[in-house]
Amino acid sequence: MKENLIISACLLGTPCRYDGKSVKKIDLAPLLERYNLIPICPEIYGGLSTPRIPSERQGARVVMKDGTDVTEAFRRGAEATLNFAKLNGARRALLKAKSPSCGKGEIYDGSFTATLTDGVGVAAELLISMGIEVFTEDEMDKLL
Interface residues with ligand SF4 (CB under 6 A) are 8-10, 16-17, 41-43, 96, 99, 101-102
**CB 1 → ligand SF4: shortest distance, Å?**
26
Taking the C-alpha atoms of residue 71 and residue 11, their distance in angstroms, rounded to an integer, is 23
Per the CB < 8 A criterion, the answer to whether 107 and 121 are in contact is yes
The whole-angstrom separation of Cα 110 and Cα 117 is 9
Residue 10 CB, nearest distance to ligand SF4 (Å)? 3
Which of 1/81 has CB closer to ligand SF4? 81
CB of residue 103 to ligand SF4, shortest distance in Å:
8
**Closest distance to ligand SF4 from the beta carbon of 15 (Å):** 9
Please, what is the Cα angle at 97 between 23 and 112, to 5 degrees?
Answer: 90
- Give the DSSP letter string of 16-44: -STTS---PPP--HHHHHHEEEEEE-HHH
Q: Name the residue nearer to ligand SF4 (CB basis): 92 or 96.
A: 96
Give the closest residue to 85 by CA, choosing from 117, 50, 131.
131
Residue with smaller CB distance to ligand SF4, 1 or 77: 77
- Closer residue to ligand SF4 (CB): 1 or 75: 75
* Angstrom distance (rounded) from CA 134 to CA 107: 14
Nearer to ligand SF4, 1 or 66 (CB): 66
Least CB distance from residue 7 to ligand SF4, whole Å?
8
Helix (H) or strand (E) holding 98: none
